[in-house]
């Protein structure tokens, strides 16, 4: 019985170590390393949760190819359950090429692959009702995962006492609000970043973004803003958390690491301050490495870090 079901986007990341500049047409740029690593919201968060002691099972789709095998093997080796991952023979595993340039944000080239086949029906009810948390990562990127169908799953999960947690990936323009709106009233914690929230709402201010999502029914809204910190809004309070300072290499996976830490806080019964501290600590640890999960704290490291460092959190 898993504490958390991590449902959604599973990706094989092809990541470059930071380069000095983007190559011009025909130019060859050397980098320290190119690596194949676990990517995608659901798989990243699952590995990060397993690392800090959460019993987690992954739900999603991969192709019947070498990259699908890599993801399943890497998740299993990291302590995440893989029995609920579907392997599809007629589509490839999703992949992302991540180009890191020193001093600049990441650049992504993505193929949706098997993630386009993830459906609400893939989320097994017998497993949901035994879990404590149902996390869906990468909603809006999975074209077969309809908002109204997922809303029914979330509603049933909440009736069974399972906490529902939702994160999104926004693949350019689209009818994102139309997909999201029926789902928010059944969402206990909604975790977009400010860029995603802007694309969905058209609003630039993270405070206004949070208010719009809360007005649509989300119980707790958390807008992560990278190095600018995090805004939380729930039914009783509004909090602004700063960030923990760590050496920056790449932001790949930092949002997923935050989600994993926040979920770990929920499972520990912590209040929003404590959950924000756990999320921020894991997010900060993630930025020290090139890939999405390689530098994320394990449980002992996270506990030590949180004992030795405090996070500034104040009302807004």
Give residue 104's pLDDT: 87
CATH of segment(s) 41-59+125-315:
3.40.1190.20
- Predicted confidence at residue 253, as pLDDT, reads 93
Which band of pLDDT confidence, cut at 50, 70 and 90, is reported for residue 163? very high
Q: Domain coordinates of the chain in residue numbers?
A: 41-59+125-315
Could you tell me the pLDDT band of residue 290, with boundaries at 50, 70 and 90? confident
Residue 83 has pLDDT above 80, yes or no: yes
What average pLDDT does the structure give for the chain?
96
pLDDT at 151 over 90: yes
Q: What is the pLDDT of residue 250?
A: 86
Query: Does position 300 have pLDDT exceeding 90, yes or no?
Result: yes
Query: Which tens digit of pLDDT belongs to each residue from 225-261?
Result: 999 999 999 999 999 999 999 999 888 899 999 999 9
Which residue carries 């208010």 as its tokens? 211
pLDDT over 90 at 197, yes or no: yes
Q: Does 103 score more than 90 pLDDT?
A: no
């Amino acid at each position: 019985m898993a504490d958390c079901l991590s449902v959604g986007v599973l990706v094989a990341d092809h990541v470059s170590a930071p380069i000095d500049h983007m190559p011009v047409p025909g130019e060859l740029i050397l980098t320290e390393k190119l690596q194949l690593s676990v990517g995608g919201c659901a798989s990243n968060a699952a590995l990060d949760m397993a690392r800090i002691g959460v019993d987690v099972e992954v739900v999603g789709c991969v192709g019947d190819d070498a990259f699908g095998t890599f993801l399943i093997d890497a998740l299993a080796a990291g302590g995440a359950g893989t029995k609920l991952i579907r392997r599809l023979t007629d589509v490839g595993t999703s992949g992302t090429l991540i180009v890191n340039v020193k001093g600049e944000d990441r650049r992504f080239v993505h193929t949706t692959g098997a993630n386009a086949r993830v459906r609400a029906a893939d989320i097994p009810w017998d497993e949901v009702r035994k879990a404590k948390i149902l996390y869906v990562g990468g909603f809006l990127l999975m074209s077969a995962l309809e908002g109204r169908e997922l809303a029914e799953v979330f509603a049933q999960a909440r009736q069974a006492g399972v906490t529902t947690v939702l994160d999104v990936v926004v693949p350019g323009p689209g009818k994102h609000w139309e997909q999201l709106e029926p789902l928010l009233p059944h969402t206990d914690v909604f975790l977009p970043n400010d860029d995603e929230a802007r694309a969905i709402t058209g609003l630039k201010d993270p405070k206004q973004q949070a208010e719009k999502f809360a007005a649509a029914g989300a119980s707790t809204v958390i807008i992560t803003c990278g190095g600018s910190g995090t805004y939380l809004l729930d039914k009783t309070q509004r909090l602004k958390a700063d960030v923990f300072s760590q050496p920056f290499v790449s932001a790949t996976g930092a949002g997923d690491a935050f989600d994993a830490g926040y979920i770990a806080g929920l499972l520990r019964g912590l209040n929003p301050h404590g959950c924000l501290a756990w999320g921020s600590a894991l997010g900060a640890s993630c930025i020290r490495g090139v890939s999405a999960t390689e530098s994320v704290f394990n449980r002992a490291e996270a506990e030590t870090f949180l004992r030795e460092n405090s996070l500034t959190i104040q009302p807004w």
